[in-house]
Amino acid sequence: MHTSAPSDDRSRIDTIVSLCKRRGFVFPSSEIYGGINALYDFGPIGTRLRRNIRNSWWRYMVESRDDVEGIETSVIMNPRVWEASGHVQNFTDPLVDCLGKCKKRWREDHLEDERRARKLPEGSTGCPECGGDLTPARQFNLMFRSYLGPVEDSAAQVWLRPETAQGMFVNFANVVTTSRARVPFGIAQIGKGFRNEISPGNFIFRSREFELMEMEFFCEPGTDDEWYAFWKKYRFDWYLDELGIQESHLRIREHEKAELSHYSSGTSDIEYAFPFGWGELEGVACRTDYDLTTHQKMSGKDLSYFDPKKEIHYVPHVIEPAVSVDRIFLTVLVDAYEEEQVNGEERVVLRLHPDLAPYQVAVLPLSKNEQLMQEAHSIEKSLRGTFATAYDDTQSIGKRYRRHDEIGTPLAVTVDFDTLVDHAVTIRNRDTMTQDRVAIADLSHAIGDHLGRARRDSRARAHRNASSQQ
């Protein structure tokens, strides 16, 4: 696998942040009150993109397979779940405080990265922000604490989940019984998670509220290695074929032994070359039988599986692919964003995969002529049930093209004065800016053909840059 080194261009992230605010992808949460650190709201365009990311993952992981079931579990669970899973004891990060001017808090294991990002001299040991002395490290639990009921005491204490995985483990027996699932099979879930991060940053890459897409794949002990290799490749291929992420910007990194979580016998990260460096998109982990065994012990309930063919009981082992919607969101924006010169003017274009684009088709009357606007409205409504459509009549046609290029709309359909005579419209391609004249009666079919070519072009773009490096 050939990968390029990430560029150190943090200004590109600033550009993406500006685009997100300007075009309605992401807003700071509670902005009118000054915001709140590392929490974000998603605007109309961002909500559409996030939904498309979730749908792509669900189709690929659940709907296209006959060995994965989906569930949804509660954000708040019995606190003994987190004792059994090891999160109460082990879900911690080393925290240091600055004793100098800035008084900031840092994760000890992030200090070197912060110093490098600020281009501090080699061997610096003080606070990356102000150079002040740092306290010795102490362990800090990342789970948000809350209380169930009216009394805030230890008996009512609960935790907001930091992952969705435990909801799937504690429902293992329920799913086997109700769906008649047979090992090997998986349980998948999309849902919110919360982590009280010490040093969140890089926009939505590391925040305190996020959305996870996780799957626990239960397999017979001894088959772990085979399934681990399968899921690493299966998940990597999703980024190329379904999201159109450029392969030259991706890599798979196997964890060193010292990095492994307490439950893992092997973990690999699928990483992306962000402007701030290589960053984890997704972890694929061999969790062994740790979770089911500990929940079986703590709860006193039998979580073993009876294999009807071999007529034996065993506790299945688990392979877990887990990814954040928010990190995929950031990745597809960074990867798709391009600036180019067109007729002496700068054009910003998001070359999003057509199945991810917030809108697939924008229907645009050439001007604010009443007849053109009525015809454009009618066409947009006729397409709405088949494609993700938008109607736009604000500003000049050139500015509307640029606006939809900037939010990643693959196709624009222009209704002009000739339309009233020949009953045809013009389809403009986002990436090539070529235009085709099509009869309104054939428009839906023509759009489907254009989007099919766009999907093939997206896959070719994903693989092209990697191939050129070989």
The pTM score is 0.90
**Inside any domain, residue 398:** yes
213 and 324, same structural domain?
yes
Domain containing 17 — which CATH number? 3.30.930.10
- Please say which residue of 306, 333, 360 terminates a domain: 333
Q: Tell which residue, 168, 219, 215, 210, has the closest CA to residue 191.
A: 210
**Inside any domain, residue 340:** no
**Inside any domain, residue 201:** yes
313 and 203, same structural domain?
yes
- Please say which residue of 276, 302, 333 terminates a domain: 333
407 and 326, same structural domain?
no
**Inside any domain, residue 89:** no
Looking up tokens 């009953």 gives 423
Looking up tokens 């294991």 gives 109
Bridge pairing between strands 411-415 and 361-365? parallel
Q: Tell which residue, 383, 6, 362, has the closest CA to residue 202.
A: 6
Residue 466 · residue 2 · CB < 8 Å: yes
Number of domains observed in the structure of the chain = 2
Q: Measure the CA–CA gap between 426 and 400, rounded to whole angstroms.
A: 15
**Inside any domain, residue 140:** no
The backbone region for 267, taken as left when phi is positive above 0, alpha when psi lies in -120 to 50, beta otherwise, is beta
- DSSP letters along 175-226, please? HHHHH---SSEEEEEEEEEE---SS-BTGGGB-SEEEEEEEEEEE-TT-HHH
390 and 292, same structural domain?
no
170 and 70, same structural domain?
yes
Instruction: Write the single-letter amino acid at 469.
Output: Q
pLDDT in single tens digits along all 470 residues of the chain: 444 444 557 788 999 999 999 999 999 999 999 999 999 999 999 999 999 999 999 999 999 999 999 999 999 999 999 999 988 888 888 899 999 999 998 989 889 888 987 889 988 899 999 999 999 998 888 899 999 999 888 889 999 999 999 999 999 999 999 999 999 999 999 999 999 987 777 899 999 999 999 999 999 999 999 999 999 999 999 999 999 999 999 999 999 988 887 778 889 999 999 998 999 999 999 999 999 999 999 999 999 999 999 999 999 999 999 999 999 999 999 999 999 988 888 999 999 999 999 999 999 999 999 999 999 999 999 999 999 999 999 999 999 999 999 999 999 999 999 999 999 999 999 999 999 999 999 999 999 999 999 999 999 999 986 544 43
324 and 359, same structural domain?
no
185 and 54, same structural domain?
yes
Q: Measure the CA–CA gap between 387 and 390, rounded to whole angstroms.
A: 10
Domain containing 455 — which CATH number? 3.40.50.800
401 and 288, same structural domain?
no
How far is the CA of 385 from the CAs of 89, 354, 388, 436, 440, in angstroms?
51, 16, 8, 23, 16
**Inside any domain, residue 85:** no
Q: Measure the CA–CA gap between 103 and 155, rounded to whole angstroms.
A: 34
**Inside any domain, residue 179:** yes
393 and 321, same structural domain?
no
310 and 170, same structural domain?
yes
- Please say which residue of 333, 357, 384 terminates a domain: 333
314 and 375, same structural domain?
no
**Inside any domain, residue 4:** no
255 and 219, same structural domain?
yes
**Full residue range of the structural domain in which residue 60 is found:** 10-78+163-333
